[in-house]
Amino acid sequence: MKEIELTVMNRDIDAVIEYLGRRAQIHFQNENDAYAAFGTEASRRVREKLDSLASAASLLDVPLPTEPFETSRFPSEADERLANTICSAVSALNNRVNELAAEKRKVEETLNEANAFANLNAPFSELDNLSYLTLRVGRLDVRRLDELKKNLSDRVQLIPLGSGDGRSGDSSEVRFLAASSRKGRFALDSELKKVDFTPIAVPEGFKGIPAELIAGLERKFKEASHEYDGIMNRGKLLREECAENLKSLTASYLMAAIGEDLKARLKTTKNVYLLSGWVPADAVKSLVDELEKLTGGRIAVRAWDPEELDSVKEGKEKVPVSLQHGAFVGGFKKVVFSYGAPLYGTVDPTPFVAIFFTILFGIMFGDLGQGLVLFLLGFLTEKRGPARLSSFRNFSVPLKAVGVSSMVMGFLNGEFFTNEKLLIGPTRALVSFLTGRPSQIDRILTIMPLAESGGSVTKLFYFFGFTIGVGILLNSIGLIVNMTNQFFLKRYEKAVFDKTGLAGIVLFWYAVFIAVRFTVSMIRPDYSFVFHWYDVAGLVIPIAAIFLGPAIWRLITSERPVFAEGAMVFFMEGFVEILETVSTYVSNTVSFLRVGAFALSHAVLAYIVFRFSEEVATVPAGPMLKALILVFGNLVIILLEGMIVAIQVVRLQYYEFFSKFFTETGVEFSPFRFNKVTER
């Protein structure tokens, strides 16, 4: 990595930012969410334009992108004119839609009111002037009608208006004529007021509704409906015409928003902008050459190695880490970075993660058919797979890898979709080919401790011993990686005297050496385990180095006092450190027994599914039941146990491997780019 500083003229800044965003090779140390800032007037104008486009798209029901397209460019003056034209057209259309909707609603209400008076045959003014009657015409919420009838009892006559029960187009209202005696008019008005009665004004001399008037209103309503439908169809056409332009314009203005936000955070003067960030060392020359061509030489560039920067040497700034891998190892990069980024200049653990993740998963999930399913899922989730699986793209390579390892382990186990018989022939043929003589071996590796399948408890213990061996290997690699990292970082005390440094490695390996000798003595009668003097030295010397390490280092570097916190505190901390070291190494190693345990549980579950399917095959409809059990059983194993095994493998990587050297995390190289979602 190199830190570069670019001095760019104001006239060139947009072109430079666009180039850097497409090239995606510069990491700005304090880059934030590009859509969050509105620090300048230009930023606010861009945001207002985005809001206008979003409003237009919402009215036309057009889905918009959330980030720029790969082909997007900063918006030009022509783009701005097109955006204004589209937004104006959509706004005018929306206003017209609202106007026609209101007019249609008004005509409909008038028509409903007219229909409501169709049952009035006498002039209303004459009825209203009768000395012994009080008439009220209006409408009421239908839910209050029963309440009104109960309160008025038989003192008032309620006459429905219009057809049917007098309800309007709005089914929640009912229209009626209320008639009572003159003496009861105050009670009538009082009760009507309680139930929110709304009077309807009737013209003087009104007598029913002429058929011509109702017909005219109906024609007007049809015309309003037709015009409303027409404007809605115009909206559909406008949507088809503008959808792609709305998307591309939004993508361009999103790109502009990112650029304006970056400019708002840059150091600037009246004439120039200053950009600084980290670039991969092998990309600096080509990047600078392209920028000089782009700006016509109007750019100044300075570059520094990390070792030249005081902020890096003092630990105030971390150099971002960019790891380059092939397809297989790169597929497991997310596993590493989900835990943390390695420090710049340290060992890249991704290759070890890729190898051990694949091996451990295969050991615990051995079935040729089920592994084939995972392998095929890896192809379905790759970049060229179905779009609906795009969110699983990062799992494509790991699925292929664990699929292959599961298939290999499944062939060794002799299992194909839990079936224990299908692979007997191929297994015998392979063994015969390798040995050069006929073989009766049904399976190469047997985990189940059943005599009928060639297994035994002894073989099972051997298998568990193998998983412990894998754990010892992975723990050892973690310790070596940590020691190497500490030397690279010039932290020599931790590299030599720490429990995960050289002293810890010697202690761990010698303890394993003693454990292996003891185990051999239990297996072979001709060998007896004897604890020699050199065993004492092999354990005591590294323990003493861990215990006394801080004091020894202070002596070597002439730091005083030797016991920084006092002798009592020093010895207490040293004692606790030794206990923690021993318990950690034991637990980290024994933890790999879970690999054998889950391999056994997988074999047991497969055995149950297969045997159960074989038993039901003899009953009526047996073949169908057998097929259902096999399909359902394998589906459960693939989904449920596959998930559990994946979690266990990740756990082993995190706690038994990463914990050895991931004591401090670095910063992942995150280059400035416009298309963040599509970043791979």
Q: What pLDDT is stored for residue 250 in this prediction?
A: 93
Residue 37 has pLDDT above 50, yes or no: no
Statement to judge: residues 408 and 552 lie in one domain = yes
User: Do 55 and 138 reside in the same domain of the chain?
Assistant: no
Structure tokens at 204: 């003087």
pLDDT of amino acid 170: 54
Domain boundary among 245, 278, 311: 311
**Neighbouring-strand partners of residue 416:** 419
Cα 359 from Cα 474, distance rounded (Å): 11
Supply the pLDDT for residue 35.
Answer: 40
Q: How far apart are CA 201 and CA 212, in angstroms?
A: 20
**pLDDT for 119-159, tens place per residue?**
555 555 555 555 555 767 788 888 888 888 778 765 666 66
Name the helix (H) or strand (E) containing 277.
strand 272-279
pLDDT digits (tens, 9 = 90+) for 394-416: 889 999 999 999 999 999 988 99
Residue 2 DSSP SS3: strand
Taking residues 80-98, what's their average pLDDT? 91
- Is position 673 within any domain? no
Distance CA 28, CA 434 (A): 58
Of these ranges, 182-191, 196-205, 423-432, the one predicted with the greatest mean pLDDT is: 423-432
* Helices and strands (H and E) in the chain: how many: 24, 10
- Say if residue 115's pLDDT is above 70: no
Q: Tens of pLDDT along 240-294? A: 999 999 999 999 999 999 888 888 888 888 889 999 999 998 899 999 999 999 9
% of the chain residues with pLDDT over 70: 87
Query: Is the bond leading into 561 cis (omega within 30 degrees of zero)?
Result: yes
Query: Is 183 in the same domain as 247?
Result: no
State the Cα–Cα distance between residues 444 and 412, nearest whole angstrom: 5
242 and 191 in one domain? no
Domain residue limits at 31: 2-90+231-311
Grade residue 345 by pLDDT with cuts at 50, 70 and 90.
confident
Task: Report angle CA 89, 90, 93 to the nearest 5 degrees.
Answer: 85
CB-based contact 323:332 (threshold 8 Å): no
At 458, the pLDDT band (50, 70, 90 cuts) reads: confident
Rounded percentage of the chain residues whose pLDDT exceeds 90: 35
213 lies in some domain: no
Give yes or no for residue 15 having a pLDDT over 60: yes
Look up residue 302 and give its two tokens.
């300075």
The residue that leads in pLDDT, 177 or 657, is: 657
Which one has a higher pLDDT value, 30 or 312?
Answer: 312
CB count, 10 Å around CB of 202? Answer: 19
Question: In this structure, are residues 512 and 540 in contact, taking their beta carbons and an 8 Å threshold?
Answer: no
Residues 6+ apart with CB under 8 A from 570: 550, 551, 563, 564
Contacts of 393 (CB under 8 A, 6+ apart): 381, 382, 383, 385, 680
Virtual torsion, Cα 449, 450, 451, 457, nearest 10 deg: 20
Can you tell me the distance from the alpha carbon of 116 to that of 520, in angstroms, rounded to the nearest whole number? 104
Q: Give the pLDDT mean for 638-667.
A: 90
Q: Given a cut of 70, is residue 581 above it in pLDDT?
A: yes
Is 131 within the bounds of a domain? yes
The sign of the CA dihedral 626, 627, 629, 630 is positive
In this model, does residue 464 exceed pLDDT 60? yes
| Lowest-confidence pick of 215-229, 566-580, 595-609 | 215-229
Q: Tokens representing 425?
A: 């022939």
Is it the case that residue 34 has pLDDT exceeding 50? no
Distance in angstroms (rounded) separating the CA atoms of residues 348 and 458: 39
Exposed/middle/buried for residue 314 (C-beta within 10 Å: 0-12, 13-18, 19+): exposed
Give the per-residue pLDDT at 359.
94
**347 and 300 together in one domain:** no
Helix axes 368-380, 396-413, angle to 10 degrees: 170
Q: How far apart are CA 108 and CA 464, in angstroms?
A: 82
Cβ contact 420:453 at 8 Å: yes
pLDDT band for position 202 (cuts 50, 70, 90) = low
Asked if the structure places residue 218 within a domain, the reply is no
Q: Which residue shows structure tokens 């009215």? A: 59
Residue 512 pLDDT grade (very low, low, confident, very high; cuts 50, 70, 90): very high
Which of these, 342, 340, 332, lies nearest to 485 by C-alpha position?
Answer: 342
Q: Which residues contact 144 (CB under 8 A, 6 or more apart)?
A: 195, 196
Determine which helix (DSSP H) or strand (DSSP E) holds 179, and give its type and residue range: strand 173-181
Decide the pairing of beta strands 272-279 and 267-268.
Answer: antiparallel
Report if residue 217 sits inside a domain.
no
**Residue 117 pLDDT:** 53
Q: Are residues 265 and 239 in the same domain?
A: yes
Which range among 109-118, 417-426, 434-443, 497-506 has the greatest average pLDDT? 497-506
Looking at 19-33, 210-224, 280-294, 465-479, which range is the least confident one? 210-224
Q: Is the predicted pLDDT of residue 372 greater than 70, yes or no?
A: yes
The pLDDT of residue 594 is above 70: yes
Please state the φ and ψ torsions of residue 128, each to the nearest 5 degrees.
-75, -20
Say yes or no: 150 and 249 in one domain. Answer: no
Q: What is the dihedral of CA 128, 134, 139, 141, to 10 degrees?
A: 180
- DSSP code of residue 343: P
Is residue 31 one of the residues assigned to a domain?
Answer: yes
Task: Please indicate, yes or no, whether residues 203 and 244 belong to a single structural domain of this protein.
Answer: no
Decide which of 193, 208, 223 is a domain's last residue. 208
Q: Looking at 36-45, 327-336, 507-516, which range is the least confident one?
A: 36-45
Report whether 162 contacts 116 (CB < 8 A): yes
Number of domains observed in the structure of the chain:
3
Per 3-state DSSP, the chain is made up of helix, strand and coil in percentages (nearest 5) of 65, 10, 30
Q: Residue 321: beta bridge partners?
A: 668
As to burial, measured by CB atoms within 10 angstroms (0-12 exposed, 13-18 middle, 19+ buried), residue 316 is exposed
pLDDT (tens digit, 9 = 90+) per residue, 634-650? Answer: 999 999 999 999 999 99
Return d(Cα 335, Cα 345) in angstroms, integer: 20
- Check which CATH number belongs to the domain holding 146 and give it: 3.30.70.2750
Do 520 and 634 share a domain, yes or no?
yes
Residue 657 has a pLDDT of 92
pLDDT of the residue at 519? 86
**Mean pLDDT value across residues 385-401:** 85
Residue at 97 is within a domain: no
In this prediction, residues 186-206 reach a mean pLDDT of 75
The predicted pLDDT at position 214 comes to 62
Q: Is residue 645 part of a domain?
A: yes
Same domain, 399 and 471: yes
DSSP 442: S
Whether residue 31 has pLDDT greater than 50: no
Q: What whole-number distance in Å separates Cα of residue 656 and Cα of residue 595?
A: 13
Element (H, E) at 230: helix 211-265
Tell me if residue 483 falls in helix, strand or coil.
helix
Give yes or no: residues 187 and 241 share one domain: no
Question: Both 178 and 77 in a single domain?
Answer: no
Average pLDDT of the chain, as a whole number:
84
Q: What is the pLDDT of residue 664?
A: 83
Q: How far from the centroid of its chain's Cα atoms is residue 240's Cα?
A: 32
In the numeric block, which tokens belong to residue 203?
């013209």
